Structure 1
Amino acid sequence: MSKQMEKTEDMENTQNESPTSKTSEKTTKVSKPITKTQVMGRNRGAVLRLQQDYINLNKDPVPYIRAEPLPWNILEWHYVISGPENSPYYSGMYHGSLVFTQQYPFKPPSIYMRTPNGRFQTNRRLCLSISDYHPDEWNPAWSVSSILTGLLSFMLEDSSALGTMVTGRKEKLQFAYDSLEYNLKDHNFTTLFPDLCKEIKQRLKERESNEAKMKAANGTNGGGDGTTDTANGLLNRSSPGNIDDNGGFPHLILIICFCLGALIFHHAYNLEQMK
């Protein structure tokens, strides 16, 4: 009997302890720290896709655009748009960034513009169909090349959206002029695009030289007394275009002819009376 009672007690103790032991085992498993490999594994899909996008972008570059990911974070890319010909952005360089999530390509990136440009507001998320403002319109088949192509296309349009701004052509041209020197102050730009920095420095040097020559030429021609400016002003006012627009000279000629005709007629009339 004593042995049976001991067995019964052991069984009860085992039943009472087993839930606690299982719980402790589960707790032990959950409390294990997440390793670096596990963290990288969560980003693995996005990393692999972005690596492939980078390869494809180098094989088939997007016109007017350069793009590079940060060496220490492939989820953040930086791009540079060179203003196309026959646009108010021509000769300008516009730096911005794309920030991807771990769910890329199933979720779109955030898009930012860093360089003042007259079209997009700087350092704020842009509301585009290819950005995280419209995840419902996003297509996982789109790549970094698709995003940059769409961004350039929207930049050249006049349609409005959250993050855009309205400026005139003259203002955009001034932004383009200022963009080169502005980009040299950005650390990411100078780190990722050293060849463009070299090109910008050369262009700024040539610009400074040309402007100095023009200033010297204007000073020599003007003689410092404003004579040339006055002459140019008179020339402009007497140009064919201004004459046609204002109509001043033709009216004056008609008046002079009329007065001469009247004088001749009056003189002839007086001679006739004397006879």
Structure 2
Amino acid sequence: MKTMAKTKVTGATSRLKQDYLRLKKDPVPYVTAEPVPSNILEWHYVVKGPEKSPYEGGYYHGKIIFPREFPFKPPSIFMITPNGRFRTNTRLCLSITDFHPDTWNPAWSISTILTGLLSFMLEKTPTFGSIQTSDYQKRCFAAESLEINLKNKMFCELFPEYVEEIEKQLKERQEALLQSDNPSNPSDAEVTEQSNLYTVLTNLLLVVGFVFLAYMVKYVLASISND
């Protein structure tokens, strides 16, 4: 039994390594995945919210647990970051997960799994592990996901490039808030508007000055003429 178990783990390891190389060569749009260094049967993924979707701007962290019998048995998929679509830390019921071993195809790769997960996330079809929320609530989760992920040790270890992106976004957000709370530090648009107003007033005063000067000259000439 031990020998068979070892063979199955070796087979799963070999397949997962092949899938990893393919994934690096041909990445799945909006989804990044990395295996845990100490356990290749546990992978973590990040869905970067697609543009023009309720998830835009969000980073959604989750994990995939592969069985020792992979690819002959499907994995379990969990979402860790609150997102408004899936319950957190709950096995998701999808055709590509162990909820439906009868629909699983051993030819499916990690890329297939990640593509299917993203597709289902963008849908509104209910299933076990999913929740129904408004687009507004999803956008709120997208904003909250930034700080939430920075508190997750595994996220920070496996996805340093996303950590850098998030920290940059949070810094820009903080600077924007400080600027809006500090009226003594006007924006470029306000500076331009004030400059234009100043120019208009200056020109107006010059015109008024010339008109007054012309009137005075005319008055003086008229007085001399009368004398």
Shared fold, TM over 0.5: yes
Letter in 1 for 2:103: E
In 2, Cα distance between equivalents of 1:193 and 1:51? 19
**C-alpha displacement at 1:101, in angstroms?**
0.4
Alignment partner of 2:155: what SS? Answer: helix
**Contiguous gaps of at least 5 residues in structure 1:** 1-29, 221-275
Counterparts in 2 of 1:83 and 1:70: CA distance versus 1, 3 Å:
same
SS of the residue corresponding to residue 78 of structure 1 reads strand
For residues 73 and 9 of structure 2, the distance between their equivalents in structure 1, rounded to whole angstroms, comes to 13
Q: Provide TM-score, normalisation by structure 2.
A: 0.78
Counterpart selection for 2:137 from 150, 158, 171: 171
**1:96-175 alignment, distance < 5 Å:** 96-175=62-141
1-structure distance, mates of 2:124, 2:183: 39
Change in Cα spacing, 1:219 to 1:162, as seen in structure 2 (3 Å) is: farther
* Pair 1:139–1:218, CA change in 2 (3 A): farther
What's the CA shift for 1:39?
5.6
Amino acid at match of 2:44: H
In structure 2, distance between residues paired with 1:218 and 1:100: 57
Per-residue deviation, residues 160-188 of structure 1 (Å, max 9, x unmatched): 00000010111111000000100011111
User: CA shift at 1:199, angstroms?
Assistant: 1.4
- 1:204 is aligned to 2:170: yes
- Residue 217 of structure 1: how far off its partner (Å): 4.5
Aligned-partner Cα distance in 2 for 1:177–1:167: 15
Structure of higher RCO (CA pairs closer than 8 Å, 6+ residues apart): 2
Give the structure 2 partner of residue 92 of structure 1. 58
Aligned residues: 186
After TM superposition, the structure 1 stretch with the greater mean CA deviation from structure 2, 175-184 or 37-46, is: 37-46
For the Cα contact (< 8 Å) 2:8–2:69, is it kept in 1? no
Letter aligned with residue 136 of structure 2? K
**Which of 32, 46, 53 is matched with 1:66 structurally?**
32
Identity of aligned residues (%): 55
Supply the distance in 1 between the matched residues of 2:5 and 2:66 (Cα, whole angstroms): 16
Compute the displacement of 1:198 (Å): 1.4
**1:182-219 Cα distance to aligned partner (Å, 9 max, x none):** 00111110111112111111110011111221233599
- Provide the residue aligned with 1:54 in structure 2: 20
Q: Is the 8 A contact 2:78 2:89 kept in 1?
A: yes
- Give SS of 2:133's match: coil
Q: 2: distance between equivalents of 1:180 and 1:158? A: 23
RMSD: 1.9
The answer for the alignment partner of 1:233 in structure 2 is: none
> Runs ≥4 in structure 1, deviation > 2 angstroms?
37-42, 214-220
Distance change in 2, residues 1:131/1:217 (3 Å): farther
**Aligned counterparts of 2:171 and 2:6: Cα–Cα separation in 1:** 45
